[in-house]
Amino acid sequence: MPRRQHMTREPKVLQFNDCAFVARSMVSAAARAGLRWDYLPPEQVRPMTAAPRNPLLAKARFVPYLLRRRAALQAADVVHVHYGTSVRLIRERGMPDRPYVLTLHGTDIRRQWKDPAFHDEIQRAIDGASHVFYANADNKDDATSARSDAEFFPSVVDLARLPTWIPAHKPQIMFISRWDDDKGMERQLKLAGALATVIGDKAELIGLDWGPGAAEARARGVRLLEKMPQHRYYEQLARSAVGIGQASEYFSTSEFEALCIGLPLAALGSRLPRPDDGTVPPVMEGSVADVVDQVLAALADPADASGRLGGAEWAVPRYDAAAYIPGLEALYRKIAR
């Protein structure tokens, strides 16, 4: 079918796949701006459960996903693909050919691009994109090596879904990320043990029952919460007095959601500056001893700690999805032409 030379109507946009609900946040913010973007979340683009042993049934289970993908692509002018390996799903035989934007969300460019088993696939996905974004500050060098014009696009948040920060009567200190190496697991476990030793009955340590280090976190005094719907997770964040972010050079969406809520945040080490404006998240940071001391001080008056750090004032204008919709719409319109 010949490519349209001019487009006076708004382009039909498909947000394909998702990571940490970033695409969903973009779609929701676009809807409030009067734009209708289609959305296929991960569970609608591919099966999320183990394949049946019967090879015919294993193949057959892909049919509804293939049909759904084909119909969604057929209706789109531009596709925004989230995560590098998801590009293969829009390029399979029989899929309509559509221009796409690619957001590299982290592990795809941080690890898989360097892995011989995935490198060629990720690089082809990057090369074929009309535009490439990367979502984490630590990905800048790798993303721009793979594609010199790759642009930083943060892990945006849908502010409309975030509750008001009202800490529980008994203070809670929440480790807000899963317990694995990408989140600085070993350092997090040391911090958990140190906090448990000094906190006593002043506060409750809580975290997610998620990741290979979860059992050890429980052993060190963290009460673990089962996986929960996203709105319940937000409610738990909003009940916490202090949040503990991941022990790495960069934050992920969960930390930015916590900052937007107003939660005073602590994290081991230090963060890389944002590639666009050079600022860093305003959090309590440093060594295990430094963080423990600051968390204890924040527990005495969480509201004062929140105001002093200014996390929400820093995060909201930088991570509110609504702020990025006009720029995305202009990009999509340019590509659709």
Supply angle C-alpha 225, 173, 285, rounded to 5: 125
Domain shared by 123 and 151, yes or no = yes
In the prediction, which pLDDT does 7 show? 61
- pLDDT of residue 139 exceeding 80, the answer is yes
Check whether residue 142 and residue 178 sit in a common domain: no
For residue 258, the domain's CATH number is 3.40.50.2000
| Segment 294-315 mean pLDDT | 97
- Name the pLDDT band for 41 (thresholds 50, 70, 90): very high
Percent residues over pLDDT 70 in the chain: 98
Indicate if 110 and 216 belong to the same structural domain: no
Asked if residue 158 has pLDDT above 70, the reply is yes
- The full DSSP string for 272-306 is PPPTTT------EEESHHHHHHHHHHHHH-HHHHH
96 lies in the same domain as 112: yes
**Distance in angstroms (rounded) separating the CA atoms of residues 64 and 46:** 9
Lowest mean pLDDT among 16-30, 37-51, 194-208: 37-51
* DSSP 8-state assignment for residue 264: -
> CA 139, 86, 149: angle at the middle one, nearest 5?
40
Question: Do residues 171 and 125 both lie within one domain?
Answer: no
DSSP H helices in 91-219: 107-110, 119-128, 140-146, 185-199, 214-219
Whether pLDDT at 148 is above 90: yes
Residue 130's pLDDT band (cuts 50, 70, 90): very high
Model pLDDT, residue 240: 98
Sign of CA dihedral 224, 250, 100, 38: positive
- For residue 206, what are its two tokens? 């809580």
* 114 SS3 class: helix
Q: Indicate if 80 and 178 belong to the same structural domain.
A: no
Does 7 reside within a domain? Answer: no
Query: What is the average pLDDT value for the chain, to the nearest integer?
Result: 95
Give the pLDDT of residue 4: 46
Report yes or no on 243 lying in a domain.
yes
Q: Return the SS3 of 243.
A: strand
Is there a domain that residue 1 lies in?
A: no
Q: Is residue 2 in a domain? A: no
* Span 168-223, pLDDT tens digits: 999 999 999 999 999 999 999 999 999 999 999 999 999 999 999 999 999 999 99
Phi and psi angles of residue 257, each rounded to the nearest 5 degrees, phi first: -65, -45
- pLDDT value at position 20? 94
Question: pLDDT confidence of 2, banded at 50, 70, 90?
Answer: very low
Residue 137: is its pLDDT beyond 80? yes
Please give the structure tokens belonging to residue 153.
Answer: 């696009």
> 3-class DSSP state for residue 66?
helix
Which residue type occupies 47?
P
Answer with the residue of higher pLDDT: 2 or 15. 15
Is residue 36 classed as helix, strand or coil in its secondary structure?
Answer: coil
Residues 103, 227 within the same domain: no
User: In the prediction, which pLDDT does 48 show?
Assistant: 82
**pLDDT tens, residue by residue, 101-111:** 999 999 999 99
Residue 4 lies in a domain: no
Residue 87 in domain: yes
Question: Cα torsion at 294, 300, 302, 308 (round to 10°)?
Answer: -60
Q: What is the mean pLDDT of residues 123-152?
A: 98
pLDDT over 60 at 149, yes or no: yes
Q: Is residue 278 part of a domain?
A: yes
Residues 177 and 121 in one domain: no
Residue 54's pLDDT is what?
84
Domain count, the chain: 2
User: Is 277 found in the same domain as 165?
Assistant: yes
Is pLDDT of 46 > 60? yes
Which strand (E) or helix (H) includes residue 330? helix 325-336
**Confidence at residue 8, expressed as pLDDT on a 0 to 100 scale:** 66
Whether residues 166 and 315 fall in one domain:
yes
- Domain range holding 287? 160-319
Is the distance from CB of 336 to CB of 14 less than 8 angstroms?
no
Residues 329 and 206 in one domain: no
Residue 188 shares a structural domain with residue 283: yes
Indicate whether 302 belongs to any domain. yes
- Average pLDDT over every residue of 52-60: 80
